[in-house]
Amino acid sequence: MLVSQLKNKKIAIVGMGLTGQSCARFLVRHDIDAVGFDSRSLNEADFDIRCQFGAFQENQFIDFDVILLSPGISLLTPAIRRAIECGVEISSDIALFAANFSGAIIGVTGSNGKSTVVSMLEAVFLEAQVPVALGGNIGIPALDILDQDIAIAVLELSSFQLETVSNLPLKAAAVLNVCEDHMDRYPDFQSYCAAKQSIFDNAEFKLANIDDKNTWPVNAKADAYIRRDNQANGFGLQFSPAAITFDGEPFIFANELKITGIHNLLNAQATCIIASQFDVPQSEIRNALCGFEGLAHRCQLIAYKQGISWVNDSKATNVGATIAAIEGLRPLVDGELCLIAGGDAKQADLSVLANRIERDVNRLITLGKDGHILAAMKDNSVAVQTLQEAVKVAANEGKGGDMVLLSPACASLDMFDNYQHRGQVFVDAVEELL
């Protein structure tokens, strides 16, 4: 929706978190009036527009022309469903951004790895001196980068964000992987997959995962695939020695990267494939990836003490992320792998972790709301009440050559403010060790 199309519309911004606030700033900059709403009790003085707070009423939004819906609020919320029934148009910050941005847009989604891939892409374009900005689900609302002088916008897009935008005009789109997540929001796994796959609806270049059919476009064929095998043409992967390959030859060896794990090699491969569509020289792709430091709380090696490696993967808020971490890191462990896991599973099926834990995890420490489900997957697992206690147990039982991996497979909100808070508590606890 163009700015000009918003003039003289009656607009509600529903959800006044970071996204809602960015929508408000955007509208104020263009002298467009709106009313903000949030079910929480917030302070109206903190916002740029008039606001109403408190529980949503069923007919609260039926007299508006447009609702700019924040991704944290479901389309199935009764007041939103009622507004849709009454013909109110549902839009979002991503839709506004796409309609009003003149450059190329790259969209990346997936249950896991998307923050790493978009950050790698930003690094590659900066290395190539291409004006670029990063936004979306990664923490910078898309509308906040709209006025920057950039040629390319790299957007991390969640399934929630994709629900409220159709035919997103993307120069390149990627679905990295799909596993059960947010089952407390979706009626079934197929609905979650459909939200992810919708990123392809109007994309010029489509990248999917050859091993995960849930990432494949529904009504088209992918232009390229992330792969775990070597290829005579294009980018692939080899395992001995581990490397990203191009046209059958090593392109970047795993030991040249500052990040670790097979899953991160696949993230880097995805970055190579997308960057190549923008004619970035391979030398600059390589330089950027070899210099990439990785992201906090994502398979981050935080300490090496008494011969034990301590890895913070607090961002692993679903089963797929934890499986990827175990699969990617286990080959690098000379001794035993100790997994710390648990939290709020968000009604996801944790049982798919059982075989991986039984085969690749030597010691299991569990905590949180659904920790008991994980604890039952391994004999002699240890249940604890706090993350600090988990670190102490892991340290007492560990020996040289071991790795202790915090990869919870669950959300953090049952015990922490967010996954960042959980990760920092883990880091602080490890630092307190001798």
Q: Where is the binding site for ATP, in residues?
A: 110-116
Q: What is the rounded CA–CA span in Å between residue 145 and residue 168?
A: 17
Q: What is the rounded CA–CA span in Å between residue 366 and residue 370?
A: 9
Annotated binding site: 110-116
The secondary structure element, H or E, covering residue 424 is helix 419-431
Q: Which residues contact 419 (CB under 8 A, 6 or more apart)?
A: 297, 314, 315, 317, 411, 412
Q: Single out the catalytic residue among 9, 10, 100, 137.
A: 137
- Residue 249, judged by CB atoms within 10 A of its CB (0-12, 13-18, 19+), counts as exposed
CB 205 within 8 A of CB 277: yes
Where residue 414 falls (left for φ over 0; alpha for ψ -120 to 50; beta otherwise) is alpha
Task: Single out the residue of 55, 63, 11, 14 nearest to residue 33, CA to CA.
Answer: 11
Pairing between strand 337-341 and 308-312?
A: unpaired
**Residue 297 annotated to the active site:** no
Q: What is the rounded CA–CA span in Å between residue 198 and residue 357?
A: 33
Dihedral sign from CA coordinates of 51, 57, 58, 62: negative
Q: Which two tokens stand for residue 200?
A: 């392809």
Q: Single out the catalytic residue among 9, 171, 182, 267.
A: 182
**Residue 177 annotated to the active site:** no
Dihedral sign from CA coordinates of 68, 73, 74, 76: negative
**Residue 258 annotated to the active site:** no
Q: Which two tokens stand for residue 187?
A: 């009626």
Q: Single out the catalytic residue among 10, 43, 59, 114.
A: 114
Give catalytic residues, as residue numbers.
114, 137, 182
